[in-house]
Amino acid sequence: MVATAATSSFFPVTSSPDSSDSKNKKLGSGSTNLGGIKSKPSASSGSLQVKANAQTSPKINGTTVVTSPVEGFKNEDGAGSPHPRTFINQLPDWSMLLAAITTIFLAAEKQWMMLDWKPRRPDMLIDPFGIGRIVQDGLVFRQNFSIRSYEIGADRTASIETLMNHLQETAINHCKSAGLLGEGFGATPEMCKKNLIWVVTRMQVVFDRYPTWGDVVQVDTCVSASGKNGMRRDWLVSDSKTGEVLTRASSVWVMMNKLTRRLSKIPEEVRGEIEPYFMNSDPVVAEDSRKLVKLDKSMAEHVRKGLTPRWSDLDVNQHVNNVKYIGWILESAPLPVLETHELSSMTLEYRRECGRESILQSLTTVSDSSVGDLVNVGEIECQHLLQLEEGSEIVRGRTQWRPKYAKSFGNVGQIPAESA
């Protein structure tokens, strides 16, 4: 019936006795004949005659197979009306296929950009993992650092603590890369067996220029012998892009027993571990042989009291990190000096360590008496002392300061407009 209605909508037909009799037949029987439906006669001799024959359902292995009524429609030539399904007409819509391919490629490109495997410009090349590498016949360790936004100060340059932390980090990584890092922090395996650790006794640093946010600095470090029971470590910090020297530092280290907290000689077993890495070279900073003055409260012009270590100031050896001492020393520097000058060099002597419960004082005196008129003052030298409240010395120091912007503007008193 559905086939008949569909055909009639396109081709008008007339009823015949055969068709009316066929209505009395039961649908689905094998003798049902729908062949009586014919198209209405037309004046044209080429009129189209359509027949709808219901074929007897074929049987396969005795089972009747029901076929769709549409399959029974044939034209006068006996050909089936629906075209056979081929490979071509079974393909998907090409526009949809193209859209799917485009989506896949865009997603792959996005993932590639996120991985950031693109080649970098020479000025962007830094150590991706921050580990560094050994160069110059295995005697020099080199590591790059990028100056972060949170590592710069009010002058828009890297802070003193940031630069000193770079030095300390390369020293530890040097030991690690050389295979000399035992269970302790910077201690060799033989040092760990004997409960020995390294402590710094003297340090000299010269700041030629301060890096700023986004700069990549290259830090080279090496070690040499210093007397019979000491080791000297030097650092050379430069701009990784231009090679300009930014900072030079030299330090002397000795061994201390971490249980008794007393200094110790270098055992032969330890000497055998470290001597192959000693470099026969002169210090990168000429030694300042001038004696550091001991200050007392009567001599000090500026005193900062009540300084106490925090838990975060301690290292794994349970003593205050030596970088923290530098921050405490500068706590008592007069504010006019900090505002108009920048630190150009410092010499420090570490006398003893302090613990968690220590309360310290920072004392500073300015060598130049004309501090009140800093616009007309060139280089300034300060003497420093960090001590416990009861008087025991922790660190003696001497710092030198140069006028800010002196290199860029010639006139000491001239300050850039954006910084004024």
Please compute, for residue 271, the number of CA atoms within 13 A of its CA located in the half-sphere on the CB side: 11
User: What is the phi/psi pair of residue 33, to 5°?
Assistant: -125, 115
Do the Cβ atoms of 342 and 210 come closer than 8 Å? Answer: yes
Paired residues of 393 in beta bridges? 387
Paired residues of 396 in beta bridges? 349, 385
Which tokens in the block code for residue 187?
């201690």
DSSP-derived pairing of the beta strands 140-146 and 245-257: unpaired
Other C-beta atoms closer than 10 Å to the C-beta of 113 total: 10
Pairwise CA distance, residues 210 & 191, whole Å:
36
Angle of helix 160-177 relative to helix 322-331, nearest 10 degrees?
170
**Catalytic residue list:** 317, 319, 354
Do the Cβ atoms of 258 and 198 come closer than 8 Å? Answer: no
Q: How far is CA 218 from the centre of its chain?
A: 17
Paired residues of 39 in beta bridges? 13
Report which residue type is found at 351: R
Do the Cβ atoms of 234 and 224 come closer than 8 Å? Answer: yes
Cα-based angle 343, 306, 169 (whole degrees, multiple of 5):
45
Pairwise CA distance, residues 157 & 240, whole Å:
16
Where on the phi/psi map is residue 283: left (φ > 0), alpha (ψ -120 to 50), or beta?
beta
Which tokens in the block code for residue 122?
């020479």
DSSP-derived pairing of the beta strands 230-239 and 216-226: antiparallel
Pairwise CA distance, residues 276 & 281, whole Å:
14
Task: Spell out the residues 6+ positions from residue 25 whose beta carbon is closer than 8 angstroms to its own.
Answer: 31, 32, 33
- DSSP element (H, E) containing 380: strand 380-388
Task: DSSP for 285-353, please give it.
Answer: S----SPPPPP-TTT-SEEEEEE---GGGB-TTSSB-HHHHHHHHHHTS-HHHHHHEEEEEEEEEE---
